[in-house]
Amino acid sequence: MTGRTLAYPFAWPSASEQPKEFAGLHDDPVVTVVLPSGDEALLITRYEDIRALLTDPRVSKNRNRPGIARMTTRKVKAFQSQVSMDPPEHTRMRSLISKAFTASRVERLRPRIQELTDGLLDVMEAGPRPVDFATAFAFPLSIQVICELLGVPADEREQFALKQTPPWDYMTDLIERKRASPGEDLISALIEVHDEQDGRLDATELHWWSTMLLLAGYETSANQLCSALVMLTAHPDQLAKLTQDPGLLPGAVEELLRCQVVGTSLSMLRYVTDDIEVGGVTVPRGSSIITALEVANHDPSAFGCPARFDVTRSGDAPQLTFSVGRHFCVGAALARAELQVALASLLHRFPNLRLGVPADRLVRVEDAFTQGFQEVPVTW
């Protein structure tokens, strides 16, 4: 561990360029960083070390532990839940969630994702140009898809786009309605899912998971779509390859996830319950650590020429944007399906798609967690 201290999250120098701090960062397995709260933490830099720590029982996600660094000075309700994020309670919850949030459920939704995508593209095509991709397509699609999956009634979905109703308050009412009148949706399945040994999700767990799936399901996916479009339009040679050969799309989506320019791993803050050796460095018990996924995704020991965006990339390690181990993103299959359907349809409909303003005019959202774009004007 070197004596240098960096500010984290890192800043993006432009709309599509990766943080300058990535250069040489992986020479040190552990680097001290200062968080937006002013607290210090230890940033883990290397791909294999991060994979190992995310499955290590000595690494806790319990942010109520005394002495753990604060991510920001503001309180974030989503991270102050009484739901345990450590085994064995979390293991039980994940097991129950997996019984309801299945790959087959997501696949059954794929035709509906396509239908929603086509409808939004019809409106885009008929309207004026340039159009803001975020408000015209990325957020409406993500909101509609996660609401379809969870079972949010159609006439109640717009409030999330407009942020009129806090999802935490809304979810309590929705769950009670689903108890009284269950459907084929995910919330109804979560209410009913159980196993013989562990029973069902309790009321707090059900509320927490339903709300987090809603929040992560539309904000994260929408920002990933915007990130993908910005990366592709900033690399016209790669966009041309993908337009000419749609068969590259599954691999291209993985590369877009690896190189996403709207993410931060601030929420990957963890607490070390015992001394752990990381790359020859002892991380002492009680340390706050950041298992930085975007840093792992640019580790030259895992990815050849990691700064290069290449939709034909193959043979490298899997990207870690969805994390790994017990906290692997339960919505990964849904996010992949949205990206695949949306990008395939978008490039087929608008093969000469491009940004409607110079990339250096794109303005980022000033948020330590998401760091998306305020608008992404596009034309064709």
* Catalytic residue list contains 338: yes
Query: CA-CA distance, 160 to 169, in Å (whole number)?
Result: 12
Is it true that the peptide bond before 19 is cis, omega within 30 degrees of 0? no
Query: CA-CA distance, 316 to 94, in Å (whole number)?
Result: 29
- Spot the catalytic one: 221, 267, 287, 323: 221
* Catalytic residue list contains 375: no
The percent of the chain in helix, strand and coil, each rounded to the nearest 5, is 50, 10, 40
Q: What is the DSSP letter of 42?
A: E
Q: What is the DSSP letter of 86?
A: S
Any residues with CB less than 8 A from the CB of 52 and at least 6 apart, and which?
Answer: none
- Spot the catalytic one: 219, 254, 255, 294: 219
Query: At which residue do the structure tokens 């990325």 appear?
Result: 138
Please give the full DSSP string across 297-359, using - where no structure is assigned: TT-TTTSSSTTS--TT--SSPPP-TT--GGG--TTHHHHHHHHHHHHHHHHHH-TT-EESS-G
Q: What is the DSSP letter of 286?
A: T
* Catalytic residue list contains 219: yes
- Spot the catalytic one: 329, 332, 359, 368: 329
* Catalytic residue list contains 329: yes
- Spot the catalytic one: 69, 147, 216, 302: 216
121 and 345 Cβ atoms separated by less than 8 Å: yes
* Catalytic residue list contains 156: no
- Spot the catalytic one: 205, 254, 255, 338: 338
Could you list the active site residues?
216, 219, 221, 329, 338
